[in-house]
Structure 1
Amino acid sequence: MNSRLKELLANGEEVTDAEEEAFLLFSQDIPPGNLGFLEPRAPTVDVTIRGAEYTVHQSPTLLSSSRAGGTTGAVLWKITPFFADWISSPSNPLWTHSFLSSDSVVAELGCGISALVALALAPSVDHYLATDQEYVRRLFRTNLEENASVNSSTTFSTKQKGTKSRGAKPAKKHSSSANNEPRNVTFTTLDWELDQPELLKGCIGTESGGQEAEDGTEEDKGFDLILSCDCIYNDALVTPFVRTCAEICRLRPVYEPSDESESSPPTRQPTICIVAQQQRAPDVFEAWLRETLREFRVWRLSDDVLVGGLKNGSGYLVHLLLAREKH
């Protein structure tokens, strides 16, 4: 496992200093932009991801309301289509190094209403758990149901021509329920300050990864991959967000680079956390990174493995995190 992780991590540069990283990234030219919404006043937005066309229903009225707890998840963010394109591509290093496969269980924090990442990725994994506040649920399910028919054309095998497979299995075909919602996508609320991450996987039942492992070990409460797409835009979110990510990742064994023993018994792969975000305020980014470095080792992924919309100079950043042992 360590050798595969090393190959994966070679696709990025390890970050060890928050102030230095913030200075490096924010001293570059960044495209001007607003908070990051795509078309915040439109009731629907059409987007194309890897040749598939989606119609996203959103709520400009809710966005402009004074709802307690925030409303930013009510509309589509600019980074989301780029991220959905990248994470679902068979050339993504998570696929080519077999850290994603048709057996993977994935969780997303702060999914928002669009369901785009779930729609793009869920057809190729075992189960996808999307989390956010309760006000997101209705439009998330609407977008999931109304765009479900697009999934059949985006499902892929990691053994496609031109992609080096490292033992990953072909994607499964997931049926839909009576209301046309894919069976392997679940939405649940998750409060970063109040809820218990160890209970999160129970939301998807035992059919998709909640049962005992084949070797008879205890139930796996962890996930193969944690995703977050543009959830950090003010200081108040930093600490609860990072803590939640860390607690979820520590439901699996953490990565220990010093453990090179080939004779040690195999364990579940560590949870990989991918955080994508728009470059906005350097002080907020630095605060997030400083807090993150306390809990994780961090790599900024290189342009070689990112799609055009996420590359250096785009105004977007993608970091890969691996949890440290809890102090």
Structure 2
Amino acid sequence: MEGLSNFLSSIGQEVEDADEESFLLFSQDIPSSNLGFVDSKAATLDITIHNQDYAIHQSPTLLSSSRAGGTTGAVLWKITPLFAEWISNTSNSLWTNSILTPSSTVVELGCGISGLTALALSHRIGHYLATDQEYVHRLFRQNLDSNPPQSQRQQAPSKSKGRKQQQQQQQQQKSRSSKSTPTEQTNGHPHPNITFTSLDWELDNPATLRQQIPTTTSTATQERGEDDEEPAGSDKGFDVLLSCDCIYNESLIAPFVRTCAEICNLRPGARPTVCIIAQQQRSPDVFEAWLRETMRWFRVWRVGADALGGKLGGGSGYLVHMLVLRG
């Protein structure tokens, strides 16, 4: 618990009042980012994080469709590459205070099609569970297949040649997907420690995520210097819960926050799951409603500019809050 206490004290003051926090944040000048898409008309985006190039496939057609249940996960949002770069930087306080370690298990809510945060972070941790509605699954898998780990990449082809190879890969992937079993569709990609499972915040039971957590030993607890009161191999729940730009609709706030709380309750051990909620500043009313509901279940800290750096820090139009379930 000492690492958690040091971490929370290093990132900023605890939020005590939702009205005050909302007024403080939205009384400042906020850069215009439109809705927040990177490019909602492009089928493929080239993104670089920590000198690693990613080709991210998205679906403008799906975004503009009338699918029931929403389509916002069909394209990449501007905050995601910035958040992925920040959270995968091992010099930030999440890593220096062992909130994230090489053995951590992470779950993401509302991952969308890109898989970008999973791709940037998974090689530094033990396991990454990405969740969203089932409609994003095919493109999420395609992005995992199209962006193998650096160790598996050969000499980088030219962009024109690379696009041809990507098109060939897409056809091969579609063929494999139509013939593969559900297990193969989940695990048969070059990132074996990334798993996708569908999760509807309003309909599904987050307790089922236990089945997706790999069996672990007490190594992670020992690395943190904590007493391990549970037998080796027991279910430790999730170290960290992530969500990036999922708070835009007031009707989803209550099920989203409840899902976060239920996932945090999966961890029976001494150190709680830390929730990291990143979002673009849009509507002060939606933000305040989210914060009010969140503070019913969680203690909340806003990550300060010093801990975030320039791209996500003050005046960027983006916010990152840390949540710890109330005892």
Q: 1:136 — aligned with what? A: 136
Counterpart Cα distance in 2 of 1:294 and 1:23: 19
Q: Does 1:244 align with 2:244?
A: no
Distance 1:131 1:49 in 2: 22
Corresponding residue of 1:203:
212
- Per mean C-alpha deviation after superposition, the further-off stretch among 217-226 and 57-66 is 217-226
Q: Equivalent residue for 1:192? A: 201
CA contact (8 A) 2:213 2:237 kept: no
Q: How does 1:305-316 map to 2 (within 5 A)?
A: 305-316=307-318
Residue of structure 1 equivalent to 2:303: 301
Per-residue CA deviation, residues 3-31 of structure 1 (Å, 9 max, x unaligned), is 22221011222101111111000000000
TM-score (norm 1): 0.83
SS at match of 1:287: helix
What's the CA shift string for 1:277-313, capped at 9, x where partnerless? 0000000000000000000000001111113210010
User: One-letter code of the match for 2:243?
Assistant: S
The one-letter code of the counterpart of 2:231 is G
Unpaired runs of 5+ in structure 2?
Answer: 154-185, 219-227
Amino acid at match of 1:272: V
Q: Could you tell me which residue of structure 1 aligns to residue 275 of structure 2?
A: 273
Number of the residue aligned with 2:124: 124
Q: Could you tell me which residue of structure 2 aligns to residue 38 of structure 1? A: 38
Contact 2:149 2:190 in 1 (8 A): no
| Partner Cα separation in structure 2 for residue 252 and residue 207 of structure 1 | 13
Q: Give the alignment's Cα RMSD to 1 decimal.
A: 2.1
Taking structure 1 as reference, are residues 52 and 238 closer, same or farther at Cα in structure 2, changes over 3 Å only? Answer: same
User: TM-score, structure 2 length as denominator?
Assistant: 0.83
Distance 1:314 1:230 in 2: 14
Deviation at 1:152, TM superposition (A): 6.8
Secondary structure of 1:131's counterpart equals: strand
Quick check: 2:217–2:234 contact (8 Å CA) kept in 1?
Answer: no
In structure 2, the CA distance between the partners of 1:30 and 1:179, relative to structure 1 (3 Å rule), is same
How many residue pairs were aligned?
285
- In structure 2, C-alpha distance between the alignment counterparts of 1:109 and 1:21, rounded to whole Å: 24
* 1:159 matched residue in structure 2: none
8 Å CA contact 2:240–2:274 kept in 1: the answer is yes
SS of residue paired to 2:129: strand
Deviations 1:114-140 (A, max 9, x none): 000000000011100000000000000
Partner of 2:168: none
The equivalences for 1:50-69 within 5 A come to 50-69=50-69
SS of the aligned residue for 2:316 comes to coil
Distance apart, 1:58 and its partner CA: 0.2
> 1:205: Cα distance to partner?
4.6
Alpha-carbon shift at residue 220 of structure 1 (Å) = 1.9
CA distance in structure 1 between the partners assigned to 2:99 and 2:19 by the alignment: 30
Deviation string 1:161-191 (CA, Å, 9 cap, x unpaired) is xxxxxxxxxxxxxxxx995431100000001
Identity %: 62
Give 1:193 deviation, angstroms: 1.5
Q: Please say which of residues 85-94 and 273-282 is displaced more in the overlay.
A: 85-94
Residues 268, 220 of structure 1: alpha-carbon distance in 2 compared, 3 angstrom cutoff: farther
Question: Which structure has more helix as a fraction of its residues?
Answer: 2
* Residues 118/21 of structure 1: CA separation in 2 closer, same or farther (3 Å cut): same
**Residue 133 of structure 1 aligns to which amino acid in structure 2?**
Q
* CA–CA separation in structure 1 for the residues paired with 2:58 and 2:217: 30
* Distance in structure 2 (CA, Å) of the matches to 1:146 and 1:140: 10
